[in-house]
Structures are given as structure tokens and as C-alpha cells.
Structure 1
Amino acid sequence: MNLNMSNIKEGEDVYFECDIQANPKVFRVQWFQNGQELHHNVTAGVILSNPSLVLQRVTRKSSGHYTCRAINLNGEASSNAIQLSVKFAPVCSADQKWVYGGGRHQPVNVTCNVESHPEASTFKWAFNTSSEYVEIPQDRIFSSRSRSMVAYTPQTHHDFGSLLCWGVNDVENQKQPCVFHIVPAAVPEPVHNCSVWHNASAAGEPEPHFTVTGLAPGTEYRLAVVASNAQGAAPPTVLVHLTPIDVAEKRTSPSAADSAGAGSLVSLTPILAVLLGVAASLVVCSVVLVVVMRARSANARARAATQTKIIYDKASPTAKGADDGGFVQQERGPDIILVKSDTRVPGEDKQLVRDYLRGRDGSFYINPGSLLNNGAVVTRETEALLPDPTTSSSACSQGAPVTRCARSLFRGGL
């Protein structure tokens, strides 16, 4: 393998050649970087041409140990590893602090780490704001092996801004500076996204986490988590946690049973109050309904007890003198008189009929209920058809006239 290692920089092409002596001839050659086989990939800049390897536009990721392996019918053999170190200008390291807080007249130590090959020999610092760009004097810069630190002290509120850092090595100066932000110091923000676990379930959780022991079962605890810095402490974040009750203790402890009973009674009190209120409402509604129904029943009985009697009064005919032309005229008076009767005496209807038949005053009594039940009306014009009140209704069965039988039935209905 032949390679010129004197000056390989990032962006250049590198050629590897494997010198092989074999009998019979080899039929396959493989190339490896740090033990991983390389495959032909023009897009990635890897070109395999048996027995050569070409790396185009190498980068710092191309650095490593390279070997080749030859294979024939009798076996295989590998070459010694050769180290390829690609030289590149300084670049900012990924894992470092980018924001620093401080107060006025308080020095802030800012550290800048870079990666390069060879290592950065010198560093340059500058302060940058939207209005000015000021280089930091070299006497305030401390550098050692790709690492530099500067002590920066803000004097006014205008001195808070960005610090820029460049590293320099034998290849060239750093193209993109590392940017660090200097902000006014303040107390930290309250912690967030906190959780509480029981027992050892928090194992494996990311830092920070805390373990509290000796907690009583079935007890509510309030845990306060506070973040602080040199400027002060943040408002506490309070976490509420109820420790679980041990099953065995719950079964054997009288105090646990008493507390559980008291808790059940307290929880049932609102339910009992609601049920009692509903029952009282139902009772009141029932009483009001009974009173209304009784009042309506009393009014119905009072209306049923009230009956109406109709007295028909037809004036007796009187003869007039010759001035009247010899015609018979009747006195004009009330034909029907309504009489309200609240009580009914047994036999009263029959007695009124007898009085009518014997009298000649032209008045008679009609019971509306009897009219509806018997369907007959008694008038003075039909008086000649009426038999004596003492005549038995059995005469209908002995061939009496139909009208007389109807009158007898009517009288019997009264």
C-alpha cells in the first residue's frame, strides 16, 4: 500500500493502492475503514477499482484506519492498517454551554471548545451587539489545546449581547465563529413537568429525581420543588401525593376501619338529604291531591241533591160579556213556575197528582225526572182520561183503553 501522508486536507482526493503477490492470482480484493467494508459508491465519493481505492473530496469523517484484503483459490490475506488523518480548520464543538447569565459588574467566565486537526493554536474573541463590534484584548483570553476561556464583565445594560469565538490552526482560520449569549441574570423559572411515583417506579428516569422515604400509608403529602441560582430561588412547584394504603394494614387496623366508616358516613350524608327532600315533596303533593279530590266530591254531591220542580199553571176559563163577542178567554198568567227543592219527601209526587185531579185551579206538578223516565205529560185537557187515583193499575190487564193504561203507568211512576 502506497500513500503520501504529508499533507492531506479536507476537500482533497486520496488514492490507495494494494500491492499483492499471489499464486494463483487473486480474484477478489476488499477494502475496510475501521473494520467496516467499503462498497463502490460514486455519489459518496468512494470508487473501488481492483486493486485500488479512491476517496474523493475527503472530510474529517474520512479519517481512520484503512486495510485491504486479497482472496485467491488457496485462501486470503490482509494488509497492515494505515492511519488517515484529514487536516481541517477549527469548528465549534457540539456539546457546550451557549447561554450565560450575569449581572452588571459581575465577571462571567465563558468557555469556547473547538475541534480541529491539528489543534487550534490561538483564539480570537469579540463582543457583538446590534450597534457595535468590539474585539476582546488578548490579555483577557486564556487558551490551551483547542480550548479558550475569556473573563467578561458587563458594565451597563448595553454590555449584554453576544460573544464570538474563532479558533486558528495550521490549516486556516475558523470560518464560522462560535456564538455565546450573555443575558442579564435572574432567578430561574419555576420547574415544570414534574411527576410523583410510588416505591421504586422512578428508577431509570432522567435527572434530576429525588427519593423520599419513611412516608406513612394512606396520607396526603404536599411536595415542593424549587430551582435556585446565584440570583435567588424560583417560586416552588407543589406536588400533591397520596400514599397508598397497605392491604394487610387495612384489614387488621381498627383505626383504619373507623376512619373508613366515618368517610363512608360523610359521603352518604348528601345522598340521604336528597332522598329525604324527595320523600317530603311527594307527601306534600299527595296531601294536596287528596284535599282537592274531596272538595270536588263534596261539590258533586251538593249539585246532585239539588232538584228542579216545574209547576204548570193554566188559568181557568172565564165567560165574558157580550162585549167580548161571546168568546171564551183565558187569563194570562204564568204557565210554568220553577220551584227549587233541595229535599224530596217520600210520596210527595203522588200527593201532588191527587191534589191536581181534585182541584180546578188549572195548575199541576211535573217532575222532570219522571218525565224522562216515563215519557208522558199530564195536562188539564187530558183530565177526562184520568181515572180515580185510587183505581188500581191492574185495570190495564182487563181491556182498559190504551190512554187510560198509559195514564195509570204514569201515575204509578210518580
Structure 2
Amino acid sequence: MVNVDLEGYIVLIGGRAILPCNVTKPNSDSSLVAVLWYHGDNKNPIYTLDARSGKPETMKHFASEHLRSRAFFNLTQPLSYLRLEPITEQDTGEYRCRVDFKRGRTINQNIFLNVIVPITKVIIYDDDKNIIKDVAGPFNEDSWVNLTCQSDRGNPPARVTWWKGSDLIDDSYHQSDKGNSINVFTFQVQRNNLMSIFTCRALNNNITSLIMQNVAIDMNLKPREIKLINAPSVMLTGTQYELICQSIGSRPSAKINWFKDGQLLTGLGESTSEDGSVTTAYLTFVPSVDDNGKKLTCSAVNDKFPDFFLEESLILKVNFVPILSLALGSSIQNKDIMEGSDVYFECNIQSSPPVNDIGWFYNEKKLESDNKQRISVNNSSLLIRNVGKVHSGKYQCWASNDIGKGSSDTVHLDVKYIPVCKSGQRIHYGVAKHEMAVIVCEVDADPSEVTFQWTFNSTLSHVYTDANLNLYNSVVASNKSEGDEEIKYTVDGLKSIATYTPKRPIDYGVLYCSASNRVGKQTEPCLYFVIPAGPPDSPENCTLTNITAHTLTIECNPGYSGGLEQTFHLEVYINASGKKRLINNLTSSEYPFFIANALPAGNLFHLVTYASNNRGRSPIVTINGNTLVAERWQTDYFEETVVSTSVLLLMGTVTTLIIVAIIVILIMKIRSDDDSRKDKSNLMNLSRISGNKQESTANCIDTCESNGKQLTGSLECIEDIWGPDLIASQLIDSSGFMTIPVLTGTVEAEIYECNSLSDQTNETLIGRHHHSHHHPLTGHHAHLIAPSHHHHLQQQQVQQSINQSTNTPIDTTFYGNHCHLTTTGF
């Protein structure tokens, strides 16, 4: 037997395989008996040709069951072959052709048939075994990705590779247990891999085409950039700003959040570009003072990367008007501030930009350093040394910068102080004897829990100091003794109301009201002057201040009130048929200011003004005035009318004075001889009055009664004549000059006439005294009618004597043997 190995054959599945078998007779006398085909290890032939008939057309062919019609042996010379068609994968293997001859050896011919089973597809899947058809992912940027490409089973096994474009990037494939070829491509995705195309190729022969599968790489991208757009470097409080934050490069689109010092803010919303890579967020922001120096942040985050974000921050610089807070020094907070202590204020200032000016207010008025008031201002601090009641009030600091001016809240400084008299009180109480005076004493004090004490002084002499208008006793006062008038009073908070009834002249004087609290006792008591009540003085300096066609305006200064509340009156008279007719009557309880209107134009009016109180009325004051002619009360006409009226009044006054002067001269001439004889006697009698009070009283009584004249209250002649506070201390000095009584205290009483102080004269010595100014300390006038026998004294000597005896500046005006004395203060 002869074995022959033939070259193998490669046939594509489904194709035709021609398996040759040489059937040439070894010699001429030999003949073919049979041809048998074996496949693999199968001992039974898969195909048999019975050639014993010798004729091809009668030869018998036998094929196995699995071949059936797919196999046919073609007996041709010199090379016969077994044709298999179509080829199946099972046809792969070694075939053996056995040729038997009638005479000769059997020949075995071996041939290997390699059936190519091409792959038909590849599949790509991820780590989760998800089959990827077109797009893989999305994968997070910078993550590691495994893409597996698997071919189906083929023969021979396929070669599976990964390509990017024309570049082979991975050829590391392996066979699975099932005969599949697998290539796992592992790589880290980068931003530039977005939508890149990777190709899996598979091939197991050089006959069929490549099997390929493309896959695009989808990715989730981190935000690449974030920025604040047009954010102002400086902001103003209360101003609205539109802030924009933009994120670039995120896939999917980023979410933008706004933060202020870590606190999440609510934005207006977002917009996204078409490709989703650009996100723009908006924020309406109104900065406040507290925002200055804080960090405003916009942050972009992709939800696919929870641990990654980009942010852009801005340190806010917010400008605002200075904000100030004022506080007392820590050492004195929440404590009572006693007068005499030091007080420190600190003005805390918050400002952007820095302040360029600082100041202070006290009770809404500018406050500066004042050594006299012990106030020291040093920019944002204020020091008050030895604080007192005068320093109580509202304090405030202010500061300004380039934006504006701001002020602190007011801080009320409450200084605890001893009681002091409340200003603006009524201090003069005019009452008659046996009439009860209700005197109200009010003090200011802190704390306001006070106790009161009342005392009385019937003062013989006082000295007033114009510098501070305080009253000081210079002579011992007559104290109240047992049985004298008792001062009864009640207390209502900071007010005490005393009732006091004078019964004698010495009961007129000064009531002292003094209060105490836990800080201390009042150092200067409140003084209330109890004086005899009388009618008021006439209004003074009355002038016409405005004249129109139908209106006359008159204004006066109030005269002395007589110790009581006074009312001012104006009566307007018009000349009608030679008679005066009252056409208007006005009153005022506050001030002598009157507007008489609805008057007929171009007429002369007599304006009569006076004052009244419960004790009577003052002498009248008359002023004449003309209303302007209608339609002609322009400025030039008004001036002309006033000048004309004034000239007429002046001429009338001068004429009257001349006539009076002539009459007085004639009377004085007639009586001059008698006056000279009586001069000495009267002066001696008057000098005795300057002794002690009882002696002066007796002399006055004797002198007055010896001439048949009765004085009111004859037992207290001096008091009834001069009043409790006006004492006739000396009338005639050693040189024979007339001296004027010391005018002390509050001059309130009226001095009545005491005629003929000696048997030798019936001339009037002392006339009526007028207190004609409303202020208790200034503007006193004494109108003395001197006896005719003093007329020979030089006016200069009289003036000198007056000034020496009173020790007070007094102006003296002489009218014949009258002199008018005016002093500006006692």
C-alpha cells in the first residue's frame, strides 16, 4: 500500500471543494476496482465508487447520509476528484482517498480540506455589558474606560484590532472558550476624545472583507472656565447691580450658584448656549453696609462631577455714608452720673471710604472744645470734666466722607444734680395786708424725689449784683419768732406751693424756697418777693409802628405791673363834630401791641392806652395818629404823613411846656420869700428821721399830726410812706444838702404825701414815688417835688448829694424846683 500526502485545500464555506485523487493504473494489465473516501477518523467511507464493471457509466456511486447529493466523484484521467458542494463547516478535516486495483497495490492519498468560516459581525460593549451600537458613554472626563470588541466565532479565529482613523491603537485580542475573538481597549478619556471615532476591525482570512464597527465617544466634561462679567470694583449701598457669571466648557451644561461669604443667594436664572457648553447666570444684587469686605462668589458645577467645581470670587468694596454709634465710656455705662464726675463719649464709626470730617452736636447745636465749659473734643471722642446740670441733654456725633454725611443716634446724658430753681417762674407776688399769697416754687432736679423747706426774711437792706442777678443778704434779716405768720406748703413732685399772708409791713419781704434730693441740698434757694400790690404803671415808649389807610398799629413797652398780672388796653377815638367818639376798644393780656383796623381813611384818631390789674388802672398814655388817604398809602406818602404829624405834635408840646414854665416861674417868685424862712426848720425835722426805726416813726407821726395831716397806718409811718423795702435812711447830710433815701430791695410801694413836716411850712416835701419799669431790679424812677427853699441849691450839688447817699448811679433831671430821678439798678 502506498500513502501519498497531497497539499491541503482551502475552501470558503458554502463554496465548492475539489478533492483530487489519482486513479492511474500502476500497469497495463491492472484494472480499477474501487475508490473509497474517508473523512477524519471515520472508519466508514463517506463516499464509495464501485468500478468493477469497468465501464464508467455502469460504475456505482455510494455517498454517506450526511453528504447525500453534496458529493460526487468524477472519474477522469489522469486525475479524478471528489467534488463537495456546498461546503459546510463540518466538511473541514483530513480526507483520505483509497484506490484499489485488481492487480496492484492499494494507493492511499491524504488531503486536508480547510473550510474557511468567515466572521459575520463584531459587537462592542462596555464594562456593564451594555452593547454599544454607535455612541459609547457618556464617560466622565479623565475616567478610565474599557471598550470590548468581540467577533463571532469563525474558522480560523478572527484577528480583532482597534483603530483610530488609520492608526492601529490596540491589537491585543484573545480567544474565548467559545472560539470568539475578543479585544478589550482600555484608555483614559480626555477632553479631546469628545465624540472621537474608534473602530473595531475583525478578519480571519484574506478572502472575505474586514468586519468593522465604529463607536463615538461621548463624554461628560468638567467646566473649563468661569468668569464674572462687568463686575464693578466699587459699589454703593442701596444701588441695584446686575451681576453676570459665565461658565464655559461644561458638558452637560453647568449649574451656577451664587454665594456671599458661603451663604447661598437666589439668582435671577440662567441661559445656555445651543451646544450646552456655555452657561450664563444672572444676579440682582443690592449691597448693604454689612457686605463691605465680604466675598461674593459664583460657582459652576457639573452634577456628573460632584467633587469638582470652578468658582470666581470678588471681594466686595461697598461705599456708604458713615454709620455711627455713640456710647458712653464703659466705666460709666448703666450708672448714675453725678455732677462733678467726668464723662467720656466714644463715637464708633463705620465708613467706606474713610471719613474726612468728624463733629459733635449738643442739643442739635454744633459742639466744640470749650475750656470754660470743661469740654474737650478729640475727633471721635468727647470728654466732659466736672459735669453738671448744664451738660445734661442730647449728644450726637457726625462724620462725613466722599459719599455723604451720617449721624449717630442721640444719647441722652442724664446728670444727677442737686435741685436748682426752675427758670421762668413768677418771683413777685403783690398782695395786700391780710391777703393770702399762693406762691409756687418749682425746681429742676435729678433725681426728682425732693423735699422742700421754706423760710422768710423781712430784709432791711439788700445788695443786687448785676453780673448774675443773685440776691445776697448784707444785713441780718429779722427772723420770724414764735407767734409770727406760719408758712404752710404742699409738695407735688418738683413743685411746692406755699401760702403766706402778710399782716404787717415787716411781713413783706423775701420767701426762700430750698429743695434737697439724694445728690445734695440746693446751694442757692429760690427767692420770691412778697410786695404790696398796687395799680400798674402806664405803658412806656408807645409808638405807631405801621400806618395804612385803614389800620393803625401801636406798640409799647410794659410798665411795672404793680406786683399783679396786668392787662393792656387801647381805646381808639375819632373826632366827630368837635367831639371824641369811641370807635374801637382792644385788650391784650400778654403785651401792649395793638392793631386797630377797619378805620376810615384820612382821619385823625386819638389812641388811648393804659394798663390795669386787680388793684386799679394806670394813668393813660395818648397818641394821635392819622390814617392815610385811600389809594395813596405808598411809601413816600406814608413818610410825608408821619413827618407832618410828628411836626404838629412837637409844636403843640413845645407850646404847652412854655405856658407851664411861665406859670411855674410866677408861682415860685411869689413863694420864694416864705420858702427861705422855712428852710432851716424843715431840714432839721427831716434829719431826725434818719435815726432808728422807732424814733423815725415817732418823729414822722409827730410832724405829720402836728400839721393836721393823717397818714395811713400812722403807727408804721416810715413803712407806710416808703414801703417795706424802701427805707428813708437819711434825707439831710451834715453839709445841709438834701440826700435821697437808700433804695433797696424791690421798690413796689407808693409813697403818699406828707404835707408840712414842720409847723413853719405847708409846702409839699415829698411827692408821689413812681416805679415805672416792669423789671424788679432795673429802671426805677423817683419823682420828688423839692420844697421851694431848696431851690437855691445848685443842681450840681444836688446831683452829687444824690449819688453819694445812694451809692447808686442815678440820673437827675431838673424841672424848676422838681427833679426826676432815674436809676438803672439797686
TM-score relative to the length of structure 2: 0.26
Larger radius of gyration: 2
Q: Between Structure 1 and Structure 2, which shows a larger proportion of strand residues?
A: 2
Higher relative contact order (CA 8 A, sep 6+): 1
